[in-house]
Amino acid sequence: MSLGSRNMSLHLNKVSSSVTHPSDLGANRDPQDLNKSVQVVWNSVIGEPDNVRSPDWVWRVSNIIYSTVQGWTYKILTVITAPIFAFIIGFHFALLIFLQIWVFRPILKFLHIIFSLLRTLGEIVLNGLCGPIFETIGLCMSNARIRHQRVYDAKDEPQFPFII
């Protein structure tokens, strides 16, 4: 097995595996522009206005130093940490996929079945027991008459609002 990304797919009882060989990765290692925000070239970090400028040779040397330090620092850090992080990230995604397939999805399906049953039972109880009660209350209240009357303002309020 060679290094690279590995995709497994199942097609009609036939398992096929596609492994991307490292030489096939190409020059574009970020085809989906995931890290477009961290592309920090010299001109996007340092810019001198027209009225204040350093000598041209200082500008060129600074550009070379910046690019070299940035490139080598990144390369050294990736050589040291990339395999470790690749292992950790790969492990975590595999764990997440495993939990999704073997734990969370079955639990969600189980809960879906249970709650569907409870919903059906609830509908039966509400329609069979509570429905006739509320229908009777509705029929009784349908003959109720509502009268609208003005409420007293604070200045118009009588001294004794309750007369016995």
Tens digit of pLDDT per residue, the chain (164 long)?
444 444 444 444 444 444 566 566 667 888 888 888 888 888 888 888 888 999 999 999 999 999 999 999 999 999 999 999 999 999 999 999 999 999 999 999 999 999 999 999 999 999 999 999 999 999 989 888 888 777 666 666 666 666 65
Q: Strand 6-11 and strand 14-19: pairing?
A: antiparallel
CB 41 within 8 A of CB 60: no
If DSSP codes are grouped into helix, strand and coil, which group holds residue 6?
Answer: strand
